[in-house]
Structure 1
Amino acid sequence: MYRNYFTFLIFIAILILCLQNIYAQQENQRFLLPSDAVKRIGKGFLYDLEFSPDGSKLAVATTLGIWIYDTANGNELNLLTGHTQSVISVCFNSDGRILASSSYDDTIRIWDMNTGKFIRKLSGHRSNVYTVAFSPDDRIIVSGSRDEMIKFWDIETGNLDKTIVGHVDGVYGLSYSPDGDILASFGVDERINLWNTETGEFINTLIPNYQPILVGSAKIEAITFSPDNTTLLSVNTNGTIREWDVNKLKIINTFETIQSEVYAVKFSPDGKTLAINGPINNENVIQIWDISTGNQIATLNGHIDRVASLEYSSDGNSLASYSYDNSVQIWDVKTGTQTQTITGHNNGIIRSIIYASDGNTVASFNHRGIMQVWDARTYKMISSTKVNFRSFRCVDFSPDGLTYAFGHNNGMIEITNRTSNEETHTIKNAHTTVVSSVAFSDKGSILASGGYDRMVRLWDVSTGRLIDTLAGHEYTVLKVEFSPTRDILVSGGSDGTIYYWDVNTGNPIRTIAAHTDRIENLSFSKTGDILVSSAADDSICLWDVSTGSLLKTITPNRNIYSVEIAPDGNTLASSHLREVRLWNVSTGKLINRVTGHSSAIYSLAFSPDGNTLISSSQDHTMIVRKIKPSNN
């Protein structure tokens, strides 16, 4: 009997542990996803990094909020949300129990790091708050903003203690002297200002040789005080490091790093070394410099793309780096080895999403020239390819997902094979100016292009040769789209006009004065019977393709970023800043509103079966949702 009882207790203990693990996973899903979504791809763009004082946690400011990571294993501990726009800066107090964050929403928020709960919001700035810092005694939070103001806040009460005018065009950085008597600040005006923290009075300005500031000269990237309060270090975007005597207000030491441009830089807490990254030698490598000798003493290798952000731990033994390879690396500075890798913080804004015609894969393309292909069942990345050009204006994928085409600002079109990433064809003078839109036919054999030269052109994808030029638009052509079932091409102009073209003859079928402002989106239903258009006049129109007659007008009364009609033709999705709206096509009535993105939603894509909708946003993430069909 006792054996059975003991066995039962063991079973209960194991069950409790399993339930705790399930609950932890549910909590993880909770802060990753809105309630109606099944998957979020990406954790948002990273703006700032900060170690907790004991080095056990890493706070990451992103477009989604503030991620908290365990530095020992790289696991996500929490996501602090509440800011209504991207978080720009984060800072721990001296014991790590409080975190301050600042945002593009013009506010500062205070968080309890033991519970992860929001404590209070500090409002008063009139523009983006770029930086925050705690005073050494943790009694004051100081903030610097684009509104040119520096504000001092009482941490206990949240009351504003004082405000000083900091810098012309914005305050970018702040640093307290270790004794707390002086605050140093820098801004767009390329000056370092010193302030009395007790009175807020201006002490003086540090300018190299007190020469007039030159427009376009190297800007200040970072500042830090020496532990003995006597000197201040600054580094410019051209890699120049200066050491200032704070009392005598003059430069006592200057040396140049080998970098002609600085992408990321951070002083160690003791001011003895500097971590820096730039284009010289290798933009993926982090260099460590000895400040006293001006010599490079170490290099950290591991990233495969440009390093964008650096942060030392308070003891100087660890360094965190964020790269455009979408990873955060944590380094042991003494040995130069990586101790942890954190992934998922995408650096590119996804501008285009498309399902392959078989529905098995999804292709996405971001503004930095990265094309990623995802498994549509697991949403795991299959491949990621960096394209060799950055001046593209528009992109489209062939229906089978194997070929993609780019239109460029200089009038060039490039057609590329995804599997080899080799350019199949380069058409240098496809248009005389900007190529504004490209689209593949339903079989992928023809590519249509529209340009600022008011022309629509058809290209043979296999040879890259021009098939036909379709002339008729009196203004810029902004969008082109093929019917999925008929030999029809539609094009939309900046004057709100839509042209229907016979692909076989190149002749216009009809012209419609569809909108009162520029056409921004064109989309066919899967059957090709309905055409959806949206424009800068904030209206969505549904058209009968056979007759050209207007079926329905939907007026969301908000800016329209993207529209997409479901394959069954019954549901329409439209994006409006951070919101996706679903409409019944037959009645024009709103079915549902869904949110979850923290920035503008640029692209929408239905799966071929119509059961899934993916949205991509300026917050650098994609959200996957299951959609219930709208029955007419």
Structure 2
Amino acid sequence: MIPPSRAIPTHLPTPAPKIRRLLGLSLLTVLGILLTAACAGVSAAAETRDAYAGAVPEGAAARLGRGAIRDMAFSPDGALLAIAGETGIYLYRSDTLQEVWLTPGPAAVTHVRFSADGALLAASVEGGVVLLMATADGSLQGVMGGRTEITSIAWSAQAADVDRRTLLIGYNDGTVLLSRVDGPPSALQTETMASLPRHISSVTAAAYSPDGRWLATGEFAGSVHLWRVADGTEMETLRGHRPNTTVTLLQWSDDGSELVSAGRDGRVIIWQPERRTPRYTLSEEADSVLALDFDRTGKALRLYSARQGWLAWDTRSGREQAAIGADIRPAYLVLSPDHRRMAVVTAEGVVETWVDGDAGPELMARLRGHSGRHAGTAAVAWSPDGRWLASSLGADLLVWKATGSDSPLRLTAHTDDITDLSWSSDGRHLASAGEDRSVRIWDARTGRLLRTLTGHQDNVAHIAWSPDGRHLASVGSLDNTLILWEATRGRVVRMLHGPGDGLWSVAWSPEGRYLAAGTTGGDIVIWDLNKETEDPALTLVGHFAWVTDLAFAPDGTALLSASADRRLIYWDLEDEERRVLGRAGDVILGVAFSPDGSRVATASRDGMVAIWDLEAGDEAGPRRYAGHTARVQAVDWSPQGTWLATGSGDGTVILWPTRVASPTGIVRYPWFQAWG
């Protein structure tokens, strides 16, 4: 795998396409056509670019995938598009979606906004911290916040004076802080100016008026508040949305005479701040409004509703002008400040940018590499020869070439999330299990689906190929059943039942005689497949909660078990003794022996990866890696033992070199040291 390069230009030329002015309804029509084309993938004017190499955390060699997108923002001139996501911050040129720079986040990045002069980028991170970064090169220039979770950020609107920037940070406890951020990026000075009176609920939206005199905030409880920026005085509470329905968007007209708010109650309201009253309630059904925008004349308001598509109203009369729907709905959408460009994210995480051109809407660029909002990586598996790495992404199966190809082979057949992967011993076949209650067998050379195995009555939690490649074992999480399949024909050879309510994990002994399964109650049962009886040959008792994963030692003398009780147990099968290696900080979801059996890797729900040296003794403790921003669900060693692949709910795979020493015993982001 080739780690991504970090190309940081010192000068960004601004693209200057000829833009045809479209006003009123004609602009809405073009945008409706534009969005319909974007969602349907109609235009072929721009090639699709693949960029799966994600922001690499400290201590890792590569990240496969860029994770889901949380937020997007155009630069003031529309030339740049910033994306905040599960794995970091990504800055692209909007016309080509070529990467300008990327940087990993210490946690999921939830919001991103450009300052009015475009020189700074503010990004909020889960945990209550705002990062201030130089747009030119992505360098970290300041850290703010440190309270509770951040729910909104907004910059003041003055672009001319770098000594008059104000940054608003809204928190989920209702607090709003206003801070000065003065000077050039290389010499920033930050100071908290004021704390606004606490809202009664989370601050979910915020916007400064164009002249900087007014500030509007919206909250979870449904109210809109109007503040005078000079002294932080609340001028009015604007009530028009239904109580306890979140205000999701706020937008000022270019001249500052009108303010529009959208809420989860479906209402879109135009306010006249000077009169402190709603002028029009434009819609009662605009559910899930993704974008709001006044046209350049200020006479038309347009919005995109996930339910209804593009809608527009005449702001003078309050009458609806038109509604142009789209058959396929984007997951996220943002408009540029100059009203000329639009960025769309599909449900699969594909990013598209569009511009209003001379001949109508033009697709500028399309990018694959980010993932859908809820698509995590629950499984990773190296091929026996180490040439390929398979991983899941939601219901899709990705196969990566270990020599460095950026684009994976994507295999689709499952109708629900994939839960586990397993290669046959000869590397010719790859099996996948899913929450759709099926096991699917693929030709690893061609990617062709060979057969689908059905028989479980619940989600298939884990699968394991026999060492000789003839059989495949699968366990259904709550149907308490282990099925032994003949791999070539898909025939059920044997069906075994656990002693309790469910079976969750499964592992073969290296010689293929024994099959171990972990139960939801915490016991481990081991069957001798040379015997016809359904009774287990051995039951191991030691865990107090479900056994999440199992792994036999390469020589078959020991078994590792991970559990929701946060304990990792080493079972010596020859001496019939157990040894608790340690207690993790959270539930251990995955475990794997190194090929030589000297080390053990674990994956935990708290996002940590750990490597335990069995020869060093218990007092040494594990070496921990912090790089994922969500729970780590899977872990697998390369056949040579030099690389560790981990899969996470953040939708990415990280490759860790396993022989690099760490003086602190933990590898984590340098940004953690920025705020302690």
1:556 to partner: Cα distance:
2.6
After superposing the two structures, state which structure 1 stretch, 519-528 or 385-394, moved more. 385-394
Instruction: Identify the residue that residue 405 of structure 1 maps to in structure 2.
Output: 431
**C-alpha deviation, 1:427, in angstroms:** 3.7
* Amino acid of the structure 1 residue aligned with 2:265: D
| Residue 583 to residue 415, structure 1, CA distance change in 2 (3 Å) | same
Kept in 2: contact 1:89–1:132 (CA 8 A): yes
Distance 1:148 1:252, change over 3 A: farther
Percent identical across equivalent pairs?
24
Q: Report the alpha carbon displacement of residue 547 of structure 1 after superposing the two structures with TM.
A: 4.8
388-397 or 139-148, larger mean C-alpha shift: 139-148
* AA matched with 1:36: G
What secondary structure, in the 3-state scheme, does the structure 2 residue paired with 1:44 have?
Answer: coil
Is structure 2 residue 583 aligned with structure 1 residue 555? yes
SS in 2 for 1:159: strand
How far apart are residue 71 of structure 1 and its match? 4.6
Question: What is the CA–CA distance in structure 2 between the aligned matches of 1:492 and 1:254, rounded to whole Å?
Answer: 62
Evaluate the alpha carbon distance shift between residue 598 and residue 407 of structure 1 in structure 2; reply closer, same or farther with a 3 A threshold.
closer
Partner of 1:5: none
Identify the match of residue 443 of structure 1 among 468, 471, 476. Answer: 468
In structure 2, what is the equivalent of residue 366 of structure 1?
393
Amino acid at match of 1:136: A
- Residue of structure 1 equivalent to 2:193: 159
Match for residue 482 of structure 1 among 508, 528, 535: 508
Shift of the alpha carbon at 1:549?
2.6
Give the aligned partner of residue 36 of structure 1: 59
- Give the corresponding residue for 1:585: 614
The change in CA–CA distance for 1:460 and 1:486 in structure 2 (over 3 A counts) is closer
Instruction: In structure 1, give the amino acid aligned to 2:127.
Output: D
The Cα of 1:338 is off from its aligned counterpart by: 4.7
Asked if the contact 2:56/2:103 (under 8 Å) is kept, the reply is no
Residues 522-572 of structure 1 deviation map (CA, whole Å, 9 limit, x = unaligned): 112222222110111110001123454314432234332322111111111
Q: What is the match of residue 108 of structure 2?
A: 86
Q: Secondary structure at the match of 2:469?
A: coil
Greater displacement, 341-350 / 559-568: 341-350
Q: In the TM superposition, what is the alpha-carbon distance from 1:518 to its structure 2 partner?
A: 0.8
**Who is 2:547 aligned against?**
519
Q: State how far apart, in whole Å, the 2-side matches of 1:340 and 1:230 are.
A: 30
Partner letter of residue 159 of structure 1?
A: M
Q: Deviations over 1:107-137 (max 9, x none)?
A: 44443324644454453874452x5443433
Q: CA deviation at 1:164?
A: 4.5
Q: Match for residue 253 of structure 1?
A: 320
Give the match's secondary structure for 1:568: coil
| Alpha-carbon distance between aligned partners in 2 of 1:150 and 1:237, rounded to the nearest angstrom | 29
Matched, 1:539 2:575: no
Is the contact made by 1:148 and 1:171 (CA closer than 8 Å) also made in structure 2?
no
1:344 and 2:369 equivalent? yes
* Higher relative contact order, chain-length normalized (CA < 8 Å, sep 6+): 2
C-alpha spacing 1:207/1:502, structure 2 compared with 1 (3 Å): farther
Q: Map 1:41-56 onto structure 2 (within 5 A).
A: 41-56=64-79
Give the distance between the partners of 1:33 and 1:80, measured in 2 at CA.
Answer: 8
Give per-residue Cα distances to partners, 1:562-589, cap 9 Å, x unaligned.
2211111111111232322211224233
Superposed CA offset, 1:48-102 (max 9, x none): 3323223433212122222223456654333355x54222332223331232333
Instruction: Give the deviation of 1:449 after TM superposition.
Output: 1.7
- Does 1:69 find its partner at 2:92? yes
Amino acid at match of 1:355: W
What SS does structure 2 have at the residue aligned with 1:351?
coil
CA positional deviation for 1:623: 2.0
Residue in 1 that maps onto 2:451: 425
Q: 1:473 and 1:509 mapped to 2: Cα distance?
A: 13
Q: What is the CA deviation profile of residues 295-316 of structure 1, one whole-angstrom value per residue up to 9, with x for unaligned ones?
A: xxxxxxxxxxxxx444444444
CA distance in 1, matches of 2:168, 2:631: 30
CA positional deviation for 1:604: 1.1
Is contact 1:478-1:491 (8 Å) kept? yes
Of 239, 248, 256, which aligns to 2:308?
A: 239
Unpaired segments of 5 or more residues in structure 1? Answer: 1-21, 265-307
Mapped to 2, the partners of 1:125 and 1:593 lie a distance apart of: 27
- Corresponding residue SS for 2:307: coil
Residues in 1 aligned to 2:133 and 2:276: alpha-carbon distance in whole angstroms = 31
Equivalent residues of 2:333, 2:342 under 8 A apart: yes
Inter-CA distance 177–49: structure 2 relative to 1 (3 Å threshold): same
Using the size of structure 2 for normalisation, the TM-score is 0.72
Structure 1 segment 13-28 matched on structure 2, within 5 A: none
5 Å-filtered alignment, 1:182-331, equals: 182-192=258-268, 203-204=277-278, 207=281, 218-229=287-298, 232-244=301-313, 251-253=318-320, 255-259=322-326, 263-264=329-330, 308-323=331-346, 327-331=350-354
What amino acid maps onto 1:349 in structure 2?
G
User: How many angstroms apart in 1 are the aligned matches of 2:311 and 2:96?
Assistant: 37
| Maintained 8 Å contact 2:175/2:195 | no
TM-score (norm 1): 0.76
State how far apart, in whole Å, the 2-side matches of 1:135 and 1:26 are.
Answer: 27
- Structure 2 gaps, min length 5: 11-52, 160-164, 183-190, 201-218, 223-243, 662-676
Moved more, 111-120 or 518-527: 111-120
* Residues 232 and 448 of structure 1: CA distance in aligned 2, closer, same or farther (over 3 Å): same
Aligned to 2:39: none
1:464 is matched with 490
1:203–1:86 CA distance, 2 compared to 1 (3 A): farther
Q: CA deviation at 1:497?
A: 0.5
Taking the aligned partners of 1:393 and 1:145, their CA distance within structure 2 comes to 36
CA contact (8 A) 1:580 1:594 kept: yes
Higher mean C-alpha deviation, range 150-159 or range 600-609: 150-159
